[in-house]
Amino acid sequence: MSATLLDGRALSKKLNKALKYTVADWPRPPGLSVILVGADPASEVYVRRKGIVAGRIGLAHHQIDLPVDVGQEELLWNIDQLNADDSVDGILVQLPLPKGLDADAVMARIAPEKDVDGFTATSAGKLAQGQPHLVPCTPKGVMELLADAGVELSGKTAVVVGRSNIVGRPMAQLLEQANCTVTVCHSRTQNVAEHVGRADIVVAAVGRPHFVKGAWIKPGAIVIDVGINRLEDGSLVGDVETDAAAERAAAITPVPGGVGPMTIAMLMANTAAAAKSRLGLD
């Protein structure tokens, strides 16, 4: 392997530690409330991890577990309670929600100033217009990784594979706002390999193991692998053929230990930012 590994685990630890000291003398700890509906094993793992990190930093973390058959109205009632609770700065509803629940309506109910996942239409609109607000955690974490590695973005060609509202689309917007020339590939894109092969910066957010082949990567490119895919043998792999891509790339994120821990760190940062603003500490 010749590429530098972009170590999201190490950077997230550093950022979390700095945040711990920042919030230590605030009048009260930032409060994060997480709603988990049902018992999806992957969601349970993610929520547990967020709780552990929140505890280490000193955030007030609170989890509401609702049964898989909870009604839409009861879920919305819980969000209303959290919206009205002054000790709660950030509200996160763990996705995906079980079938039968309207995720768009659920997201829309979260008060925009407590939308620490950055998924509401208000947050998306503000990001699209380049207004400072709560930015979705995964793309925000990718930007932090790139900045920490000293990657110069202005004037570079970036290709984002994937256009979801939570990763691909906001990722493309952030890169464009950092003056990259951005191409977004999706399931109808013809010849993804050709697009990727022109990119100085590649972000893969597809959800398919090893979708981006090492041979597609332009020599010297920066490769960010957002994907988390569990194989039948239980192992976790990304959306990029990491070993082969690392032979050509200048830098690459590992899976696990790349973007994943940064996503959690940015959730904590967003919760602190929401608290700072609500406490008038800006």
Residues marked active site are found at 50, 94, 117
The residues near 185 (Cβ < 8 Å, ≥ 6 apart) are 159, 160, 161, 162, 192, 195, 196
Residue 190 binding ligand NDP, by CB under 6 A: no
Whichever of 61 and 140 has its CB closer to ligand NDP, that residue is: 140
Spatial contact of 263 and 137, defined as CB atoms under 8 Å apart = yes
Around Cβ 221, how many Cβ atoms within 10 Å? 25
- Give min distance, CB of 25 to ligand NDP, in A: 30
- Give min distance, CB of 19 to ligand NDP, in A: 18
Spatial contact of 192 and 217, defined as CB atoms under 8 Å apart = no
Residue 227 binding ligand NDP, by CB under 6 A: yes
- Give min distance, CB of 204 to ligand NDP, in A: 8
Please choose, from the candidates 167, 163, 207, the residue with its C-alpha nearest in 3D space to the C-alpha of residue 183: 163
DSSP 3-state assignment of 181? strand
Round to whole Å and give the CA distance between 75 and 101: 9
Position among 47, 153, 201, 226 found at the interface with ligand NDP (CB under 6 A):
226
Round to whole Å and give the CA distance between 91 and 78: 10
Please choose, from the candidates 245, 224, 251, the residue with its C-alpha nearest in 3D space to the C-alpha of residue 168: 224
The residues near 260 (Cβ < 8 Å, ≥ 6 apart) are 8, 228
**How many angstroms from the chain centroid is the CA of residue 142?**
8
Residue 43 binding ligand NDP, by CB under 6 A: no
Residue 188 binding ligand NDP, by CB under 6 A: yes
Position among 185, 196, 249, 252 found at the interface with ligand NDP (CB under 6 A):
185
Region 144-183 residues binding ligand NDP, contact defined as CB under 6 A: 161-164, 166-168
Q: Which two tokens stand for residue 133?
A: 């607000």
Residue 136 binding ligand NDP, by CB under 6 A: no
Position among 57, 218, 260, 267 found at the interface with ligand NDP (CB under 6 A):
260
Residue 263 binding ligand NDP, by CB under 6 A: yes
- Number of residues located near ligand NDP, criterion CB under 6 A: 24
- Give min distance, CB of 254 to ligand NDP, in A: 11
Residues interacting with ligand NDP, by CB under 6 A?
138, 161-164, 166-168, 185-189, 192, 205-207, 226-229, 259-260, 263
